[in-house]
Amino acid sequence: MSDTYTLIKNGMVIDGTGSEPTRCDVLVHGPRIVHVGTDAATHLPVDAAHSEIDASGCRVLPGLIDSHCHISFDQPNSNDELFFHRRYGLAALVAGVNAQKVLRAGFTSFFDADCVFDVGVDLRDAIEGGVIEGPRMTTGGNVLINCVGGTATRLLPDEGTRGYARIVHTPAEIVREIHKQIKTGVDWIKVHVSGLPIRPGKEPGEISTWTLDELKLVCDTAHQFGIPVVGHCRNAASTRDAALAGFDMILHATYMDDEALKVVVDRKVPLVPTFTFQANLADYGPAIGSDEGLREVFRAEITESVGTLRAAYDAGVPLLTGSESGFSLTPYGDWHYRELQVFVEDLGMTPLQAINSATEQGARALKREGELGCIKPGYLADLLIFDGEPEKVITQLGDQHRFRHIMKDGKLVDLTSPPPKNWELPGWRVSEYSERVLTRQLVDSMGLAR
Ligand SMILES: [Zn+2]
């Protein structure tokens, strides 16, 4: 089966490099692309078993890559739910279904930044081993964090593990945890370099919670084993220090100042701005009852950060698209494309540049540079046959009906049998007594008093 050829004919190829669409055929053999050109058919060996896909009127794109997901979270409404309502075995089973939603959205690869339990490693191995269908993935383990950091403030204990977080304080704890995660099989070590302040200060964004020496220790320890390091950095100092320490990729990198920008540019550290979560909250918050003040804070994070991120991009820093899918604001399968839209509308990229960020550049998060994310001979055959013109209207990529075919590793995904959309699981969601407080005034105002 994997020895057969597939010839994709008559399509307009968007090769992922940022080049304009060109009329080409694509010949696939096993999991790889073997030829791209108008003469691809002539490269079929005589009498070779092969199938053909007529891509007339369609674009042929590389499979898209989401460089910032949380596949094991299952769309929690709150940190309370995420930290206290997940179970290991069930989280892994649910993640296996959610991964199929990502794949059917045209995202044939993703990076799972951090996970509850060891779900990321187990899911990756299950997909690679052929147990279940899913996108190709790389994964971190639990995020390294100290008890000050993170986006959970006092919900974090002083030590131990909670949710996706492993609390470390001393150099010995840092080294031991990295060794343990590498033994487990992670692809990346992730550090929460900045976190929400308990009492907000004057600096925009979060507060830095790690010293430069601690960040260097993380890099030295992980790099010894060839494992890259990624950081969550939502202020200038944390972004600067992560880049100085030798981090291989930075998530968010918002609120950079000139100093942080210079270090990032000097070292060409790939950045994953991850604006989809903020954009969804800012634009669609009213639909889900989000706090007005919170919406303004998140909109400001985009408007105050696009200038420096654009400057980094213009100076040659790779920008990757990550959607932060996995929260109630970013359900799996729905919003992965939206980061490309934000790149076009807020960062001023062309649609083809945004597609490059989501394909050729995204290969960096998958550790497959040079063999993933482009339509070129020798590259992995992750391909989309797409009915539309995403080089003109980037939001078309959010319309799943436009995907005529999705191919991963040279094999077509069965788009006729979608995975279940929702489920009821005992104890999985936070249950509330009520949405509002039952005051006497409320009862009186509704005329319910008796
Ligand atoms: Zn994240």
- Total residues belonging to the chain: 450
User: Average of pLDDT values for 233-251?
Assistant: 97
Q: What is the pLDDT of residue 151?
A: 79
The band of 1, judged by pLDDT with boundaries at 50, 70 and 90, is very low
Distance from Cα 192 to the centre of ligand 1, integer Å: 10
CA-wise closest residue to 53 among 330, 314, 385, 296: 385
CA distances from 15 to 52, 235, 238, 358, 373 (A): 19, 35, 35, 12, 8
What is the C-alpha to C-alpha distance for residues 119 and 127, in angstroms, rounded to an integer?
12
Cα–chain-centroid distance for residue 179?
25
Percentage of residues in the chain with pLDDT exceeding 70? 99
User: Average of pLDDT values for 88-108?
Assistant: 98
Query: Token pair for residue 116?
Result: 């509850």
What is the C-alpha to C-alpha distance for residues 383 and 361, in angstroms, rounded to an integer?
16
Number of Cβ atoms within 10 Å of the Cβ of 201 = 8
CATH 3.20.20.140 positions along the chain are 64-372
* Average predicted confidence (pLDDT) for the chain: 95
Distance from Cα 438 to the centre of ligand 1, integer Å: 35
Cα–chain-centroid distance for residue 13?
25
361 near 270, Cβ under 8 Å? yes
User: Average of pLDDT values for 340-357?
Assistant: 98
Distance from Cα 112 to the centre of ligand 1, integer Å: 8
> How many CA atoms lie less than 13 Å away from 210 in the CB half-sphere?
36
pLDDT, tens digit (0-9, with 9 covering 90-100), for 200-214: 777 778 999 999 999
Does residue 331 carry a pLDDT above 70?
Answer: yes
Q: What is the pLDDT of residue 431?
A: 74
User: Average of pLDDT values for 269-273?
Assistant: 98
- Give residues whose Cβ lies within 5 Å of ion ligand 1: 113, 324
Distance from Cα 439 to the centre of ligand 1, integer Å: 38
Distance from Cα 375 to the centre of ligand 1, integer Å: 29
CATH 2.30.40.10 positions along the chain are 1-62+373-417
User: Average of pLDDT values for 311-324?
Assistant: 98
Give the residue carrying structure tokens 């969601």: 429
User: Average of pLDDT values for 38-51?
Assistant: 90
Distance from Cα 232 to the centre of ligand 1, integer Å: 7
**Element housing 313 (H / E):** helix 292-314
pLDDT, tens digit (0-9, with 9 covering 90-100), for 76-94: 999 999 999 999 999 999 9
CATH of domain 64-372: 3.20.20.140
Give me the residues paired with residue 150 across strands.
195
The band of 27, judged by pLDDT with boundaries at 50, 70 and 90, is very high
Distance from Cα 315 to the centre of ligand 1, integer Å: 25
Distance from Cα 14 to the centre of ligand 1, integer Å: 29
The band of 241, judged by pLDDT with boundaries at 50, 70 and 90, is very high
Distance from Cα 378 to the centre of ligand 1, integer Å: 32
Distance from Cα 394 to the centre of ligand 1, integer Å: 23
Distance from Cα 328 to the centre of ligand 1, integer Å: 13
The band of 285, judged by pLDDT with boundaries at 50, 70 and 90, is confident
Distance from Cα 133 to the centre of ligand 1, integer Å: 23
356 near 127, Cβ under 8 Å? no
Distance from Cα 231 to the centre of ligand 1, integer Å: 10
Distance from Cα 253 to the centre of ligand 1, integer Å: 12
Distance from Cα 398 to the centre of ligand 1, integer Å: 21
Distance from Cα 23 to the centre of ligand 1, integer Å: 38
Distance from Cα 450 to the centre of ligand 1, integer Å: 49
110 near 368, Cβ under 8 Å? no
Pinpoint the alpha helices (H) of 49-87.
79-84
Distance from Cα 69 to the centre of ligand 1, integer Å: 6
357 near 373, Cβ under 8 Å? no
Q: E-assigned strands of 148-280?
A: 160-162, 165-167, 189-192, 194-195, 207-208, 229-233, 249-252, 271-272
- Which fold, 1-62+373-417? Urease, subunit C; domain 1 (2.30.40)
